[in-house]
Structure 1
């Protein structure tokens, strides 16, 4: 090859390299500007009809309107939510796969000895969404009529008392573990595949106690079909103001909420995350969404919590809170 041909070839290769480099540098920005140009999937780790699914479907419509694309709720169930969490962790970080999960995101590291994901490293944090309060319930004919009587009864009859939950990693299980830890007793736990069948057996008198979310318990409480011993928030609930908190009844600092957060796979572009965060804020400020959530005492978090930093701090705090409780109880999942 002649010298001038070598020079020409070298210059051409250099120009191609520069062009490729320039394209690669602007490609993410172009993709973010075009986002979204197809439907978005919002993964929920629990079955349709449950509390988390209900929240997802309520926010999906207004989020989709703000983004200009349909947000499709997809239920990926199994293994206490770890199947869905793993799927999202391994998904393409392009903003087309989002994840709504409750506090189970924080308890998985202690519940499962081997996890294929790290909640603190494998996700982008979009923001907190809602808090769902819990109520400690007893079957209608349970001997204790109030929380003080319940405390006295379980200390004497702990071997006979049963407490139901929705399975490993469920908020109802964690609430029960915390109650037993604070009371210094071990009750017979009865796991179910969801709070629906657990509540059915409580109503039928097959189990004694259940800690469950307000989303499905309020009607039964108001119809006196169960005994309500206390709510698990630090303040009384507007719709259940006659039921005292466990905190005010002596279990200081007892607080269990099924807090929810919105996540995306690690590496999702910041510009895309900003658009999703804006859509989430629009949804949570929607009057109809607020009214529907309020009917079940579900609390929309303040807008100051609908941030990446707030969700990350919440997750870190809850991992540190629940890890010792779970390990002390030896409540490991398979």
Structure 2
């Protein structure tokens, strides 16, 4: 009997001493691979940047961060999948401006709410929009475009990569704030948009730096103005729109989200990991080389920016009667 009691006591003490270790083991995050869902096909600028971030996060977390491409419906398929995923930190979204801002402004029945269904982990970079012109057009500045378009209504047509795109909304915002008179011609992507510009089918185009930069540097089109707050390092001689229209700024962002209701310790770990990866001189250099602008901000700042931009772009979309469905 004495031996039995001694055995049970020993077992009880052993179990008690192991309990904290077992409990601690269950709280370790991450203990398996994470998934970063990207709503674009492989090979594009967003996908390339997402893979760089995933690689950096993998090294910091000690677990693979696997990029899963799920394109379609302007990234809303990927966004909806993450919004409905378990809030355990193992499913993340590469959520730039399109699914977070443009979709809720222009589309209905998304299947997710960008301001309620996600935990914002941080913004990484901005991609600037550029107003460019056909080389034969006698416009050298934004002031020239404003003056000539007012003097010759219906003379100018501007192209974008599609109706309801960020480039479309940016150009309409510019029209309302400057009085520029030009009509929109939507194309199915940047390539046909800029091809039409070079061919003279349109005089002006609004597009992303990653699309226009090679054509500008090769002299095939000319830049009129950039829509960033400051001049671009890659185009130091091209003025900003704000130099003519103070306060004007329009850019698209790249950010990372998790599902809503993410436990605070997991949120903090992912947020700190993301910051450690992207907020370094080496990574910022990579961003600039890819025609992005480094623009890290934490999750709370990302949430505030998204809410502000949705409210602002809703006004522009209503004024210009832009709606996808």
**Normalised by the size of structure 2, how large is the TM-score?**
0.85
Choose from 238, 255, 267 the match for 2:233.
Answer: 238
**Displacement of 1:158:** 4.1
**Matching residue of 1:97:** 91
**Matching residue of 1:255:** 249
Secondary structure class of the residue paired with 1:280: helix
**Normalised by the size of structure 1, how large is the TM-score?**
0.83
- Divergent runs of 4+, >6 A: none
1:131 touches 1:300 (CA, 8 Å); kept in 2? yes
Give distance in 2, aligned partners of 1:123 and 1:156.
Answer: 48
**Which ranges of structure 1 fall in alignment gaps of 5 or more residues?**
1-22
Query: Number of matched residues?
Result: 304
Give distance in 1, aligned partners of 2:212 and 2:139.
Answer: 19
**Matching residue of 1:189:** 184
Choose from 152, 155, 159 the match for 2:154.
Answer: 159
Render the CA deviation track for 1:276-322: whole Å, top value 9, x for unaligned: 112211221344422221124422225xx2x2211111111111211
Alignment of 1:125-204 (within 5 A): 125-185=120-180, 187-204=182-199
Q: Does 1:74 align with 2:68?
A: yes
2:102 touches 2:165 (CA, 8 Å); kept in 1? no
1:214 touches 1:296 (CA, 8 Å); kept in 2? no
Give distance in 2, aligned partners of 1:192 and 1:85.
Answer: 25
Secondary structure class of the residue paired with 1:132: strand
1:80 touches 1:167 (CA, 8 Å); kept in 2? no
**Matching residue of 2:267:** 273
**Matching residue of 2:277:** 283
Please provide the CA RMSD for this pair: 2.3
Choose from 218, 223, 232 the match for 1:223.
Answer: 218
Gap change, CA 1:261 and 1:156, over 3 Å in 2: same
Secondary structure class of the residue paired with 1:230: strand
Identify the range of structure 1 (239-248 vs 204-213) with the bigger mean alpha-carbon deviation. 204-213
**Displacement of 1:325:** 0.6
Give distance in 2, aligned partners of 1:323 and 1:207.
Answer: 27
Identify the range of structure 1 (196-205 vs 36-45) with the bigger mean alpha-carbon deviation. 196-205
Choose from 282, 295, 303 the match for 1:301.
Answer: 295
**Displacement of 1:275:** 2.0
**Displacement of 1:80:** 2.2
Q: Does 1:319 align with 2:310?
A: yes
**Which ranges of structure 2 fall in alignment gaps of 5 or more residues?**
1-18
Render the CA deviation track for 1:218-256: whole Å, top value 9, x for unaligned: 22212221111111112212221101111112x221101
**Matching residue of 1:53:** 47
Gap change, CA 1:48 and 1:196, over 3 Å in 2: farther
Choose from 307, 321, 324 the match for 1:330.
Answer: 321
**Displacement of 1:98:** 0.9
